[in-house]
Each structure stands twice: as structure tokens, then as C-alpha cells.
Amino acid sequence: MSGHPQFDNRFTFASFAIFAGVLSFLLVASVSGPVPRVPAELLPYFASHRSTYVFLAITVLVWAVASVPCIVGLGALLGARRGTLAFAATMLCSGGVLLLGFATFAFVGAFLSITASSHAAPSQAEAIYQATIWGNLSYFLTDPGLMTLGLGQFLFAWLAWKGAVLPRVICAIGYLGGLAGLLTLALYQTSLLAVVQISAFGVWGVATGLVLLRRRDEST
């Protein structure tokens, strides 16, 4: 491991990895409930669950920031023999996470702004019209991030499968998460694939952190 300066402080990368994994599960839990799809119903739902969506907006930003060091650590962990491929996976996953974080934050911010100002709108129909636009736009905003992250996850899973760093069951979960991201456009207007993908990312975050902690203990 001497060729990887990123591993001089394994505890730091392990902490970020486990933290990102836990936040991934929080994100999944926050979007897994029954949310109305009809804009006329979605506006009052957002208004009555404002604190929940504020929490979601904060969580997704912290998740995006914490996930990048986690991904960098994962790239160093798996890139001993295939550094170029690991670098590509690192860039794809990091870019996908940041795109997804921004898209989710923008969507939540837009809806919270619409619900907060709906009383001042020229009419209720105008507020519903804006909600309809943002409701449909959210899929176009999140798809690039999900698909970019998906390809990175798939490459990481392939690297892990070829190596002996992570258990095969973790590799299989990585393949599943990557495939879910790559197939985002196949199931339009549903969060099912995103839930599978972020759940897989959470499992990988916790697993990566535990592996780094174990290797840190072995090296001391």
C-alpha cells in the first residue's frame, strides 16, 4: 500500500466511507414513502412535510460532500493494478454524486419555494402549473447523475470482482447498483431504480470503511 499516499490516513477515509454509507440509507428512507405524483396533491403534501424536505435537502448536500472522499478512498483501494480504470470509476462516481446532489437540492428548493409563495401567486392554477414543470423536470435533472454514478459503480464492481479486496456478495451488490443507474431511463418517472442504486452505494460505503479500518489495524 506504500504506492498510495491517499492511504496514509486510512481512518479518515474509512470514517468518510461509513458516514456516506449511513447517509445513503437515510436518503433512501426519506424518499421511500408514498409521495403524491399529481401536482395539485403534491403542493399541499410539501407544505405539510416542510421539515422533512428541509432535512432531505441538508442531508443530500452533506451526503454529496462526504461521498467524494469515500469514492477517492475506494479508488485507491481497488486501483493497485488497474489505476487508469480505477481513476475513471472515481471520476464517474464523484461526478455522478455531485450532479445528483445538486439536482435533488434544486428540486426540493424549487418546491419549497413554490409552496411558500403559493399564497401570493396570481392563482392556484399558476402554482400548480409551476409544480407540474418542476415535478417533470426533476427526472431530467437527476437522470444524468444517476447514470454517471451507475457506470462508475459498475466499473468499481468489476475491479472488486477481479481483485480480492471486497467479498463477492459486495461485488454483486455493486453490479446491481450500477445496472440500476444505467437503466434509469428504462423506468421513467419512478424512484425504484434510484432506491436500489443508492442502497447499493450505502452498502459499499460501509463495506469500504470496514475494510479500510481492518487494514489500518493490520498495518499497525
What's the start-to-end Cα distance of the chain, in Å?
13
Q: How confident is the model at residue 2 (pLDDT cuts 50, 70, 90)?
A: very low
Q: How many domains does the chain have?
A: 1
Calculate the average pLDDT of the chain: 84
Report if residue 2 sits inside a domain.
Answer: no
Q: Does residue 156 lie within any of the structural domains?
A: yes
Burial of 65 (0-12, 13-18, 19+ CB in 10 A): middle
Q: Is residue 3 part of a domain?
A: no
Q: What pLDDT, in 10s, does the model give residues 35-69?
A: 666 666 777 778 788 888 888 899 999 999 999 99
Task: Report the pLDDT value the prediction gives residue 43, as an integer from 0 to 100.
Answer: 76
Question: Is 1 inside any structural domain?
Answer: no
- Scan for cell 400548480, then name that residue: 128
Predicted local distance difference test score (pLDDT) of residue 218: 58
With respect to residue 4, please indicate whether it lies within any of the assigned structural domains: no
CA-based torsion, 111, 115, 116, 117: positive or negative: positive
Please indicate, yes or no, if residue 190 is contained in any of the structural domains: yes
Give a yes or no: residue 220 inside a domain.
Answer: no
Q: What is the pTM of this model?
A: 0.85
Structural domain span for residue 179: 9-215
List, for residues 4-15, the tens digit of each pLDDT value: 444 557 788 889
